[in-house]
Amino acid sequence: MLVLGGGIAGCWAAIAAAREGVGVTLVEKGATVSSGAAGSGCDHWESAATNPCSGVTPEELTRAMIADHGGYNNGISHYIECREGYDRLLDLEAMGGKIRDSEDEFAGAEFRDEKTKFLFAYDYVNRFTLRVWGTTFKSALHAECRRLGVQVIDRTMATSLLSEEGRQGGRIIGATAVNGRTGEFLVLRAGATVLAMSRPTRIWLFSTGLPGLSEFRPPQCTGDGHAMGWKAGVEFTMMEKSVQAEWSGERSYPPYGTGNTHNTWYACSMVDAEGREIPWVDRDGRLLESVSERYRPAPGQRFFIKGGGESYFPLHDYLGPDTLPVDQLLEQGFKLPFYADLPGMPELERRAIWGLMVGEEGKTKVPILQNYTGAGFDPDTHLLQSYGDGWRSGAFLPQERQLFGLPGGMMNDWELRTNLEGLFAAGDQLFASNCHGHAAATGHYAGRHAVEFAMHAADAPISAEQAEIERDRIMAPLDRKRGLTWKELNAAVARQMQHHCGAFKTADLLESGLAALDDLEEHEVPRLRAGNPHELIRTLEVMNILTNARLILHASLARQASSKHLQW
């Protein structure tokens, strides 16, 4: 079996398959021990509905997720997440990952269960989201892959899917790849293949000077699997959905590095320039007098799901200061700038945010916790200013977009198979993908079902012609001594997408955008150059970015109707 992508979903797919006794090869563009969107950590594990403290069932939670997005959600993958997410968490603990407050750092906290030593986030009554030590997870997964005998091929980028008889839409029987250190070209054959790569990024926003700030996710997560899948004939849905950007581009502040109230910082107290506290209210507008109330459902509310900004139904929503427009707060007499008031919170809540959550979330342990602490920030005495529009990390224009908040992706059935025989998908490869727990649960699930398929798959030879065409395509930039660099093309694609596929869309705009991308494909891609295998990987990534931009434009043209749930 072949797994493409060594992030969370890919590692879990490989582990599940290897435990069934089949040979597994995992191909990863980076270093599997720390690569991927969650390679640097995660601070919470959503939807662990089967943990012994949970007050909701997997069925209730899945239905709520679907309803809160008006039906534009992947009920299959999120049911798998809700049903099996806690099992994967226990597996991680057995591998050496830390999921409990074993040192009793938070003994006596309202969010702690004294029997299990689990720490919970967001809804303290229903307790289905756990605070975890996610920086311990990726290394544990990598070690388990090695222990099980998974063949891990690091620093190697998958470039295309190989199909039976070389036909688009045919059964997938392997893939091609190139090593980013040596330039070696690989042809891989498999009975079943699991795509477990990232969602597309750097589509609308890219900084040539500060490429590391081009996306919330790692900048090398460029949707390579989406591009490969589309060329092979995979069916997609919801690719027309995009949201206004945050935590991206050179005008952004580091993720979770400014005062706010959402996700990692939920439910932090906020004050204005004169120290006046900005109120928290529940879904019905009832003023919450204490910090404890912010973590409890409203009267008559069964439970709530964090992330009110992505919810359209108050049944499972919550409200807070960050849901109020800044101009409305100014009309009420509040004065800028606003600040996160960690010193004004109970000690255990303060330490849970600054230390545990900020310390374990991806992209925060070093750039935020370590650097801010080294610069003298003390959460016991200091406020942290909120920039941009008052709550987010930067103020972005309507045309500056991201594929964020349950974006589009590959269609799947109940085995997480795509429409192509022999090809399975997991994690961010799926439409309406979510966070760490979703990637873990769907990766393991896809791996199990891919094994079943591989066991009975008929042997099929690789098309030498298909592999040779791909080798010639990807190696061409190495043969050019002069021409265009990958950064220049990435900037050009982003500019065209801002012009033609921003907040406002019309058929004429979208058609014009496709024409502009066709022009880049015809005249600029043949000029791309790469001086070495490392630059070749960066170049191939941008070629995939261009392909994904075309996919998004075609999806947008097909929609022909506005939808608030798709922010379209």
Q: Which of 203, 142, 161 is nearest to 404 (CA)?
A: 203
Whether 309 has a pLDDT exceeding 70, the answer reads no
Higher-confidence position of 335 and 315: 335
**pLDDT interval class at 393 (50, 70, 90):** very low
Question: pLDDT tens digit string along 163-210?
Answer: 999 999 999 999 999 999 999 999 999 999 999 999 999 999 998 887
pLDDT for residue 34 is more than 80 = yes
In whole angstroms, what is the distance from residue 101 CA to residue 108 CA? 11
Confidence check: pLDDT of 311 > 80 = no
pLDDT, tens only, 336-364:
889 999 999 999 999 999 999 999 998 89
Q: Strand 384-386 vs strand 338-340: parallel, antiparallel, or unpaired?
A: antiparallel
* C-alpha span between 241 and 564 (Å, rounded): 10
Residues 252-273 pLDDT 10s: 778 888 888 888 999 999 999 9
- Average pLDDT score over the chain: 93
- 395: pLDDT strictly greater than 70: no
Question: Could you state, in order of their start, the residue ranges of all structural domains in the chain?
Answer: 263-386
Whether 262 contacts 89, CB under 8 Å: no
417-420 contact pairs (CB < 8 A, 24+): 417/449, 417/453, 418/195, 418/229, 418/234, 418/235, 419/233, 419/234, 419/235, 420/161, 420/163, 420/169, 420/170, 420/171, 420/172, 420/232, 420/233, 420/234
* pLDDT score of 319 more than 80: no
pLDDT band, residue 308 (cuts 50/70/90): very low
Helix 533-559 with 507-519: angle, nearest 10 deg: 160
Q: How sure is the predictor about 312, in pLDDT bands with cuts at 50, 70 and 90? A: low
Q: Is the pLDDT of residue 422 over 70?
A: yes
Q: How does pLDDT run across 262-304, given as a tens digit for each residue?
A: 889 999 999 999 999 999 988 888 999 999 999 999 999 999 9
pLDDT at 218 over 90: no
pLDDT at site 306 = 78
| Model confidence pLDDT, tens digit, residues 440-491 | 999 999 999 999 999 999 999 999 999 999 999 999 999 999 999 999 999 9
Is the model's pLDDT at 222 over the cut of 70? yes
Phi and psi based region of residue 223 (left: phi greater than 0; alpha: psi -120 to 50; beta: remaining): left
The answer on pLDDT for 388 being more than 80 is: no
pLDDT (average), residues 23-48 = 95
Write out pLDDT tens, residues 541-564.
Answer: 999 999 999 999 999 999 988 888
Min mean pLDDT across 15-29, 239-253, 383-397, 507-521 is at: 383-397
User: Does an H or E element contain 226, and which?
Assistant: helix 224-232
More confident residue, 568 or 190: 190
| pLDDT higher than threshold 80 for residue 138 | yes
Looking only at the bridges linking them, the beta strands covering 2-4 and 193-195 are: parallel
pTM of the predicted model as reported, rounded to 2 decimal places:
0.96
Report the pLDDT value the prediction gives residue 560, as an integer from 0 to 100. 86
